[in-house]
Chains A and B, each alone.
Chain A
Amino acid sequence: ETGVTQSPTHLIKTRGQQVTLRCSSQSGHNTVSWYQQALGQGPQFIFQYYREEENGRGNFPPRFSGLQFPNYSSELNVNALELDDSALYLCASTRGGRDYGYTFGSGTRLTVV
């Protein structure tokens, strides 16, 4: 059983650019969530996908968007990058249902300069 894998592990982008982060969910998991973790803070929910549809969104602007594919892998896209977007981006997957056993990836460290 493979866990959640994210790519790339590190990324440096310039303000105003666009970035795509990728996540492969754990085998058997159909729900993927993305979180932003700024330095010294807890993870903040960005959005969640279930069967290729967004089914929850946190307090993030529309320039944060995502996709989920038929194999339940997912992408997080951020347009018009700002310096404050510098953070660790975490992907988590679950089978869903009442027992919310989320499995987290190691994250992508994004630095915007």
Chain B
Amino acid sequence: AQRVTQPEKLLSVFKGAPVELKCNYSYSGSPELFWYVQYSRQRLQLLLRHISRESIKGFTADLNKGETSFHLKKPFAQEEDSAMYYCALSGPAAGNKLTFGGGTRVLVKP
């Protein structure tokens, strides 16, 4: 069965410091991996997906199939990055549904 694990419930960093959110997954086959973000009082929205290999708001994520990880990174955190971040996967073996991790709350301090 597919599973997504985000080991950190809370990450607290200072503005300008690097931030890395960990995501590990289990899946039979080649999954589609995503990062979703939820800012305060806003709806869940897609941040980035691994197939597009793009950088959004300075965030990047690399799929490491050997380590079954999809960690999210940003070299210089900004206060507006404070939010809840969810890693998710999908794919045929998952019934094409999104399976989410438990989420990591990021707090960027001034």
Contact = CB atoms under 8 A, between A and B. Distances in A.
Interface of A: 33, 35, 40-45, 48, 55-56, 58, 90, 92, 98-107
A56 B43 contact: no
Interface of B: 4, 6, 32, 34, 36, 43-46, 49, 51, 86, 88, 90, 95-103
6 contacts: A42-B88, A43-B86, A44-B100, A98-B51, A99-B51, A104-B45
B43 A42 contact: no
A56 B97 contact: yes
Contact of A102 (B95, B98, B101, B103): B98
Contacts of A103: 46
A104 B97 contact: no
A15 to B, nearest CB: 27
A102 B49 CA distance: 11
